[in-house]
Amino acid sequence: MIPKKRWIPALILFGLLIAGGGFWYLYDDRVDVTIEIVDEENVPQKVDLFVVESGEMYPFRPSSTDASGKLRLKLEPSLYRFDVLTDSSWEEIDEKKEVSKENSKFRFVLKKRSINK
């Protein structure tokens, strides 16, 4: 049996852990962002992309869309650059968008690259 001297600090620390977790959960300001990538005919596309926060040098996370052309991320409210990586038959997409609770769904449309002769 554990002595009472050890139970009291353990219960206090456990209570602080629970309270801290609840505070973090309630006041987490990250936004659930949904990104959808389709082609001109509204067909979902599986692509790779980089999400870079404004002012940062390195990508937040290199990611890929699933078979439905969608990707879900949790991002802090800020200005982000979305760089979609495709093969050479598509035009490049490199756009800056503001992420906020009101602005959390993004749709990018891939366009075929025009061939100039």
Q: Are strands 31-39 and 105-110 parallel, antiparallel or unpaired?
A: parallel
Asked whether residue 10 is domain-assigned, the answer is: no
Residue 94 in any domain: the answer is yes
Q: How far apart are CA 34 and CA 69, in angstroms?
A: 10
Beta bridge partners of 108: 37
* Alpha-carbon distances, residue 46 vs 35, 81, 104 (angstroms): 12, 19, 20
Residue 88: give the domain boundaries: 31-110
How many domains are contained in the chain?
1
> Is residue 13, in this structure, part of any structural domain at all?
no
pLDDT for 85 equals 81
pLDDT beyond 90 at 21: no
- The answer to the question of residue 61 being in a domain is yes
Residue 19 lies inside a defined structural domain of this protein:
no
CATH number at residue 79: 2.60.40.1120
Residue (of 75, 64, 61) closest to 29 by Cα position = 75
pLDDT-based confidence at residue 102 (cuts at 50, 70, 90): very high
- Is residue 90 domain-resident? yes
Chain position carrying tokens 């495709």: 86
**Considering the domain boundaries, does residue 52 fall inside one?**
yes
Q: What is the pLDDT of residue 98?
A: 92
User: What is the pLDDT averaged over residues 17-42?
Assistant: 83
Length of the chain: 117
Report the pLDDT value the prediction gives residue 62, as an integer from 0 to 100: 65
Q: Residue 63 domain-assigned?
A: yes
Q: Tell me if the pTM is above 0.75.
A: no
List pLDDT tens digits, range 41-100.
988 888 888 877 777 666 566 677 777 888 888 888 888 888 888 878 888 888 889 999
pLDDT of residue 1: 64
Q: How many Å apart are CA 66 and CA 8, to the nearest integer?
A: 49
Residue 57, pLDDT score: 62
